[in-house]
Amino acid sequence: MQKDSKIYVAGHRGMVGAAVWRALLAEGFTNLIGKTSKELDLKDQKSVNYFFQKEEPQVVIDAAARVGGILANNNFPYPFLMENLQIQNNLIDAAQHNNVQKFIFLGSSCIYPKLAPQPLKEEYLLTGPLEPTNEWYAIAKIAGVKACEAIRKQFGKDYVSLMPTNLYGPFDNFDLETSHVLPAMIRKFHEAKNNNHADVKLWGSGTPMREFLHVDDLAKAVVFSVKNTLPENLYNVGTGSDVTIKQLAEIIQKTVGHKGEIIWDSSKPDGTPRKLMDSSKMNAVGWNSEIVLDKGIENTYQWFLDNQEDLKEVKL
């Protein structure tokens, strides 16, 4: 791939897309395209097709999606299914019909069965029931993986799917109604600290285990996939290690400097008992994570502190 190859990053202003954009620039790629949702509605098939015909991107990175935590997925199943299907189908189909040779589809570890053996391997896809609280999002992402696999099989194009574990980092969503567990904890502990170190109530028992990947590490995996032709269609992208939600809370509490108590509300759902990904395939082709969890959380909390005014403007 040439450094002046035209690369379209869908969702370039989100947490993942922004990280990918920064990483591409850092690697010397100069011809990047990004459109806001106001400039291009990815749910509008005609608009997406016209955009591809006009711009003729050589590489497409799909970092656009409707995302959220357990609460958002559980309360809004239809948009999490339908909007994600619309976005990715329009992008993948427009890429295929406009001769885009390289497409990188980004998904989530939630595509794997709830009770699949640990660590999660790529071949466990479609071998059992999904986690009910986010199956709508997962089904959409599975469809995207299979669409890219079908194009790869039928047309021989370099369409690859990267499935990251739980992501965090700069530009994350810190809204308590729609955010994932790590940014939600950062905000909760921060606000409790500012409220005379009030106690913090957290969902569940604290016993489930989760793996967390800094978004800048994922971005490097995407750039690696842009620069190289990967031999298979589906790759897990993770750190290879996990922590309990209780351990995560304690790391964040320490980072924020909160001195109050943590109260666990065991009446609320825990979600999947454990989600550790086997990223050995991605490691074998040459990518490895670099950012350790405590340092990544420090980086994310500092970003949160530095962007308080912007977060207030978007009512987070």
What pLDDT tens digit does each residue of the chain (316 aa) get? 799 999 999 999 999 999 999 999 999 999 999 999 999 999 999 999 999 999 999 999 999 998 776 777 788 899 999 999 999 999 999 999 999 999 999 999 999 998 899 999 999 999 999 988 889 999 999 999 999 999 999 999 999 999 999 999 999 989 887 778 899 999 999 999 999 999 999 989 999 999 999 999 999 999 999 999 999 999 999 999 999 999 999 999 999 999 999 999 999 888 778 889 999 999 999 999 999 999 999 999 999 999 987 765 444 3
**What tokens were used for 261?**
């108590």
Q: Give the separation between CA 184 and CA 195, rounded to whole angstroms.
A: 16
Specify the pLDDT at position 243.
97
Neighbours of 14 (CB within 10 A): 20
Specify the pLDDT at position 272.
72
**Which of the residues 137, 159, 168, 235 is marked catalytic?**
137
SS (H, E, C) 119-145: CECHHHCCCCCCCHHHHHHHHHHHHHH
Active site residue 137: yes
C-alpha closest to that of 144 among 192, 85, 219, 77: 85
Beta strand 274-275 pairing with 166-168: unpaired
C-alpha closest to that of 170 among 16, 287, 12: 16
Domain boundaries, the chain: 7-313
Q: What is the pTM of this model?
A: 0.93
Specify the pLDDT at position 311.
67
C-alpha closest to that of 179 among 293, 70, 309: 70
Specify the pLDDT at position 175.
85
Specify the pLDDT at position 176.
81
- The shares of helix, strand and coil residues in the chain, as percent rounded to the nearest 5, are 45, 15, 40
Fold of 7-313: Rossmann fold (3.40.50)
C-alpha closest to that of 178 among 314, 35, 16: 314
